[in-house]
Amino acid sequence: MKVTLLSIVVLFWSFAECSNPHPLDPLTPSEINLVQTIVQKAYPTSHNLTFNYVGLDEPDKLKVLSWDSSNPKPEPKPKPKPPPPPPRRAFVMVRSQKQSHEITVDLSKRSIVSTKVYQGNGYPPLTAGEIEEATQLPLNHEPFKESLRKRGLNDVSQVQCVAFTLGWYGEAKTRRIVKIKCHYRNGTVNFYARPVEGVEMVVDIDDMKIVGYNDRYVVALPKAEGTEYRASKLKPPSAPKPKQDHGPGFTIDGHSVSWDSWDFHVGYDSRAGPIISLASYYDVQRKKHRTVLYKGFISELFVPYQDPTEEWYYKTFFDGGEYGLGRFMSPLKASTDCPSDASFINAYYASSDGTPVEIPNAFCIFEKYAGGIMWRHTEAAIPNELITETRSEKTLVVRTVSTVANYDYITDWEFTPSGSIKSVVGLTGILALKATNYTNTEEIKKDIYGTLVADNTIGVNHDHFFTYSLDFDVDGVANSFVKYNFETVRVKDRSIPRKSYWTVVSETAKTEADARINLGSKPTELLVVNPNKKTKQGNKIGYRLIPGPMAHPLLVGDDFPQIRGAFTDYDVWVTPYNKSEKWVAGLYVDRSRGDDTLAVWSRRNRRIENRDIVMWYTMGFRHVPCQEEFPIMPTLSGGFELRPTNFFERNPILETK
């Protein structure tokens, strides 16, 4: 009877399936059924088989490649019939009689090709069925019921247990056991938030019974309130501002922009280009606008080329201070440079004789929906409920493009509903090219300081260092710069078989010298906090920097371009706010001697703790050109994120629908 039923299922599925299988197609339902039938037949019915893994046993790569090369790609249509794929095989791992079996099944021949009993260490993956069974065991386990009663948790139907693999900690002999920890759901579906801490059980998966029990200590059960995430159960607090029914979700009043919870000002300067100021986030819980960033802009863009010959050695440009990232902003076009529904703002600079010059559509502002997910969770473990809550992401982008001669620099400032500010730069346009007699690399006997990208054409090696000025005002003006140093700690407790873990050693920078950072040199997280304010939980209110691409300068420190570009000596610097310290390469950059750079200002080693502070962050791209970048370069992007870190009491977009 059972076999007949199975056969029907197989027949049904065979009918529904693709008639031209690809050799790498995953196993179909009918193939899985077939595996089940074949394997079950091969073992005595008294043996309980658990199918821990059933997957495609891939054909040899060479067979796949040979099949693929003779399988015409979908052009032209109609597609000719492809050659037959290599034989379909399944690789199966079953657990039976406390042993792990590896079985290879030939699906075409409906037979077992090979079997092996695995004698080594370790076990196959847990199955969903095993996990489900194991996590039900505590519900009828008397000691556990007693532990619940001890904690005043009287409704066993509200208990939700989770099975955890427990790894290996040097035991000479292992069993196939897992640890079980339980949660008390009562009042929430977010049971992970309500762990019954201090109690753990050990389950032998092969025997499917509890073989260890430990109720070591009692602590508070976290409350259910505030843990809900289903839209249907949440009463959203009143939105910060009325949403528009039609048109863009943002308003532009002059240069002030309001969108979602964000308010900020989009400034313009002929040298810096776009300037984001007074960015604040309306906190629904606190019912107020909270400041984040007083100002953010690219203070300098240093582009040293790496060809030391007579006609090229001097090319070490400071595109901000020598030319002007704002002056050379390009008019943007809807539908290509920006989405068709973008809004635009013009910019004006003074020409040589002082007359205003308009850059029409110099800024575009648009809501970006890129198919991203703002947050999500699927909860399949709760009996008789399948929860899927997903919030799709929309962000707001302020875009400009600075075309400094050949290069086009796309600068996006992006604001997210969750409180992040991102800045993404895109490099496109045309490479700086050098003519040569070479047409093939074989002719080249010495360094050409770049790549032969076309006949007679070298794309010369260079760097792009974008140095941002980030004047944080995290929930107020007085801020501190904090390094979370990650340090390995040796476990001293002899009862614990684990030897090490990492912890956070928080270090607040007292002076500028404490805040000079080369990213990547040691494991660190960098934050700007408001030391005068704390969350309800007592955490420091902060934002952290999630850095973008890095490229430390490789010129020697006493080389002239590096003296002038000494602000790239570190990736991050922090200085006290000083109105006159705006341009990291100095106010007068053309032919400068490096006597007015950030590196010079910072020598004073001023106090920066609990002050109005400015972070200077350099994002670097090391650029060895390639042929793809000729005659025009596909955009290469990189960006950083300023992300709220204990700035909010809780997820600020929980109530968003």
CB of 167 to its own copies, least distance (A): 5
> Do residues 510 and 611 lie in contact, with contact meaning Cβ atoms separated by under 8 Å?
no
Region for residue 354 given its phi and psi (left: phi exceeds 0; alpha: psi -120 to 50; beta: otherwise): left
CB of 375 to its own copies, least distance (A): 5
Cβ nearer to its own copies, comparing 135 with 602: 135
Which residues are CB-contacts of 68 (< 8 A; sequence separation ≥ 6)?
A: none
Q: Catalytic residue among 349, 407, 409, 468, which?
A: 407
Q: Is 353 a catalytic residue?
A: no
CB of 244 to its own copies, least distance (A): 11
Alpha carbon distance 287, 342 (integer Å):
30
Alpha carbon distance 80, 188 (integer Å):
56
Q: Is 43 a catalytic residue?
A: no
Q: Catalytic residue among 263, 283, 319, 475, which?
A: 319
Cβ nearer to its own copies, comparing 368 with 510: 368
- Sheet-wide strand order for 433-435: 433-435, 457-460, 450-454
CA dihedral 203, 205, 208, 209 (to 10 degrees): -20
Residue 467 has, within 13 A of its CA and on its CB side, a CA count of 32
Alpha carbon distance 630, 456 (integer Å):
12
Cβ nearer to its own copies, comparing 307 with 609: 307
CB of 73 to its own copies, least distance (A): 5
Alpha carbon distance 371, 340 (integer Å):
17
Cβ nearer to its own copies, comparing 55 with 237: 55
First to last CA, the chain: 50
Region for residue 605 given its phi and psi (left: phi exceeds 0; alpha: psi -120 to 50; beta: otherwise): left
CB of 242 to its own copies, least distance (A): 7
CB of 200 to its own copies, least distance (A): 5
CA dihedral 588, 589, 594, 600 (to 10 degrees): 60
Cβ nearer to its own copies, comparing 54 with 517: 54
Both tokens of 197, joined, read 């801490």
Which residues does residue 91 pair with via DSSP β-bridges, in sequence order? 55, 104
CB of 616 to its own copies, least distance (A): 17
For the chain, what's the residue count? Answer: 657
Cβ nearer to its own copies, comparing 109 with 593: 593
> Do residues 47 and 16 lie in contact, with contact meaning Cβ atoms separated by under 8 Å?
no
- Sheet-wide strand order for 407-415: 343-350, 356-368, 395-404, 407-415, 421-429, 633-645, 540-546, 524-534, 480-490, 500-508
> Do residues 100 and 93 lie in contact, with contact meaning Cβ atoms separated by under 8 Å?
yes
My answer on whether omega of the bond before 195 falls inside 30° of 0, hence cis, is: no
Cβ nearer to its own copies, comparing 63 with 516: 63
CB of 15 to its own copies, least distance (A): 15
- Phi first, then psi, for residue 214 (nearest 5°) are -145, 115
CB of 246 to its own copies, least distance (A): 16
Cβ nearer to its own copies, comparing 158 with 330: 330
Cβ nearer to its own copies, comparing 228 with 569: 228
Active site residues: 319, 407
